[in-house]
Structure 1
Amino acid sequence: MTDLTTLQISLILCGVIFASITAGILAGLLGVGGGIVLVPVLFWILSFTDFPPELSMHMAVATSLATIIFTSVSSARAHNARGAVDRNLLRSWAPGLVFGALAGGILARYIDANGLRAIFGGIAVLVAINMLLPRTLVISSTLPEGWLPNGFLSGVTGLFSALMGIGGGTLSVPLLSAFSVEIRRAVGTAAAFGFLIAVPAGVGFVISGWNVPDRPPFSLGYINYAVAALILPFTVGFAPLGARLAHTLDTVWIKRGFALFLMITAVNMLAAFTA
């Protein structure tokens, strides 16, 4: 890595702090865990510092997951205080989320940086389109019954959330809404999903990155705990604010604004992949 000037270091710190505050608010507001903001920001910052490109995306995803462990708890507690966490749904989806997330964390070792960027960018485009649609796609009036369909839905959510470095809300909120789960209950429950995804996925990224060379100091596998420690006070501190806003604001325009940001981010990720 090249030596950084004081100005560059200051800009990086400001960028990380601003992204962390935004991620914390969105974690509470939309139940998205914050990783959908943190991963591209961390990736761009690592690229800006001439970090080894084959490690940039893996480190960004894994470090984001480490912060989501704590951010999701803060967000879920705030939603639970308002009765918005569906505990039956949480228990039903927990095994699939944990298994899928652990598999994703371990599988990441065998996917190169371009592959992770393609997964992040491709899914983010689909999510952004869904958020911009005037009407939410409805598949059924109720969630499917039985462990097999719920295990499949939760397992796929856990797997791709781990590979994207996100808490699960980005995928699970649209999915739950498609099965007619009330939006605030979907957001609140998705906030709790984040913990069930981030812990096993983080373990997977520690295992898969354990002996990888050229990692920066203060790294545990692919997780850089120094950067995670910088991010955490802001994401955890601002998640309850987002949860309060979720229960007082009409989130339509916020969702549309976030969808536009997500679309721009996704296109940039895919452009970097094809470059």
Structure 2
Amino acid sequence: MLLSDIAMLMLCGSISGFLAGLLGIGGGMILVPFMILVFNHQGFSQEVIVHMAIATGMATILFTTTSAIWAHHKHGSIDWKLVGSLSPGLVVGSLIGGSEIFEALNTSWLSLFFAIFIVYTSIQMLLNKKPKPGRDLPGSLGLFGFGSFAGALSSLVGAGGAFITVPFMLWCNVKPHVAMASSSGLGFPIAAAATAGYMYGSWGHPNLPSGSLGFVYLPAVVCIAAVSIFTAPLGAKMARKLDVAQLKRIFGVMLLMLAAFMFNESRKAFGY
């Protein structure tokens, strides 16, 4: 990998880590468009380039969420009982989504699906929408069912799951600060299971470059994780001082630009 590629990945890793701590997102989806640029520069096969970007971005969440989990745990903000109840479904859904569904989607459809997801997320950021609490948490079967759905969806878009687990917890009358903190705890099993699914489902793929474990490109993971684990706590600290609602709107505009890039990638993949 060229020095310029390493610098790009480390810069993106520092930014994604900071935003993950600041806004409570996993950071993986921010990295995907930039990793596509780097992987294109390295001449990776177009057949797997989007899959690799999403899978590699998810793998980095393992390191970013670890920093966030520790910070929240020290303040006693994580509901570990709730995390334990949701995790089995999250793991099952992430494994299935990461190993079976993810590889079955070709590059064009995966690019389109990811772009639509970014648009949805950007709208939530721009509106700063907060779902109103409506009910208590469901029983074990309900939590497992929701966890399976959330895990599968997260694995398809390379996200840590906060975009769906936080609204669900708020809707179920979980206190907002507990929901945000617990989403960090839920991000780790999603990332771990999805990453394992990515690697298992694509093991031995003929178009993967050296340095890959399935769709996960290890050199990129190392570059990104080396800086994101340090910038994530900085973002969490800054979140207590800044107007996060305004920052979310700025970030939403940036996501719309990233979505435009992904729609263009999808267009090229479809041959238009």
Q: Work out whether the TM-score is over 0.5.
A: yes
Alignment partner for residue 230 of structure 2, among 210, 214, 237?
Answer: 237
Letter in structure 1 aligned against 2:126: L
Shift of 1:180: 4.6
1:111 matched residue in structure 2: 105
| 1:42 to partner: Cα distance | 0.8
Q: Does 1:98 align with 2:91?
A: yes
- Kindly indicate whether the alpha-carbon contact (under 8 Å) linking 2:64 and 2:232 is maintained by their aligned counterparts in 1: yes
Q: Does structure 2 retain, via aligned residues, the 8 Å contact 1:33–1:68?
A: yes
Assess if the C-alpha contact under 8 Å between 1:130 and 1:174 holds in 2. Answer: no
Q: Which amino acid aligns with 2:201?
A: S
Unaligned runs of 5+ in 2: none
Cα deviation for residue 134 of structure 1 reads: 5.2
Give the distance between the partners of 2:145 and 2:259, measured in 1 at CA: 26
3-state SS of the aligned residue for 1:53? Answer: coil
The match for 2:120 is: 126
Tell me the equivalent position of 1:81: 74
Q: Secondary structure, in 3 states, of the residue corresponding to 1:54?
A: coil
Structure 2 counterpart of 1:106, one-letter code: S
Q: Which amino acid aligns with 2:255?
A: L
Match of 1:154 among 147, 150, 163: 147
Deviations 1:141-180 (A, max 9, x none): 3343212332232222211111111211233234434445
Residue of structure 1 in register with 2:213 after alignment = 220
Deviations 1:173-194 (A, max 9, x none): 3443444544332221111112
Following the alignment from structure 1 to structure 2, what is the Cα–Cα distance between the partners of residues 100 and 155?
A: 4
Retained in 1: the 8 A contact 2:29–2:54? no
Q: State the Cα distance separating 1:242 from its structure 2 match.
A: 1.7
Match of 1:258 among 227, 235, 251: 251
Deviation at 1:129, TM superposition (A): 1.0
Q: Equivalents in 2 of 1:53, 1:203: separation in Å?
A: 22
The percentage of aligned residue pairs carrying the same residue is 32
Give 1:28's aligned residue.
21
Distance (Å, rounded) in 2 between the aligned partners of 1:233 and 1:53? 27
8 Å contact 2:128–2:249 — kept in the other structure? no
Structure 1: segments with no counterpart, 5+ residues: none
Structure 2 SS opposite 1:152: helix
TM-score (norm 2): 0.90
Deviations 1:82-131 (A, max 9, x none): 22212122122111111111111112121111222122111221121122
Give the equivalent residue in structure 1 for 2:45. 52
CA shift in 2, pair 1:202/1:52, >3 Å: same
SS at match of 1:39: helix
Conservation of the 8 A alpha-carbon contact between 1:30 and 1:169? no
Q: CA deviation at 1:56?
A: 0.5
CA RMSD of aligned residues (A): 2.0
